[in-house]
């Protein structure tokens, strides 16, 4: 299951992470977010132990969303060693997201 990220645990799980992390910025009222949600959950299972996959609710964690200038959701940010290395805005296929994850894992 994807990690629930918050203002309190974001730094420890994403910024201080020495590996790859994928963060899904979403909200409950967002239709496209509900479409990509199951894809993110699948990736969390598939990459368990290889990458940190998390979801951050922008309504509950406005500080982090503002810090990264999230204007449209869903926005997926890929981090490596705490730095943003890739970004995707909108719905994406599982294959596309896997391709990006694999590129940063190698």
Active site residues: 30, 33
Report long-range pairs for 67-72 (Cβ below 8 Å, ≥24 apart).
68/25, 70/25
């Amino acid at each position: 299951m994807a990690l629930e990220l918050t203002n309190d645990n974001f730094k420890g799980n994403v910024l201080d992470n020495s590996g790859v992390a994928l963060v899904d910025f979403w909200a409950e009222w967002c239709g496209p977010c509900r479409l990509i949600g199951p894809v993110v959950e699948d990736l969390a299972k598939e990459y368990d132990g290889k990458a940190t996959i998390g979801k951050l609710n922008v309504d509950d964690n406005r500080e982090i969303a503002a810090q990264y200038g999230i204007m449209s959701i869903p926005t997926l940010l890929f981090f490596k060693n705490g730095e943003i290395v890739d970004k995707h805005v909108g719905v994406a296929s599982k294959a596309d997201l896997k391709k990006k994850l694999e590129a940063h894992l190698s």
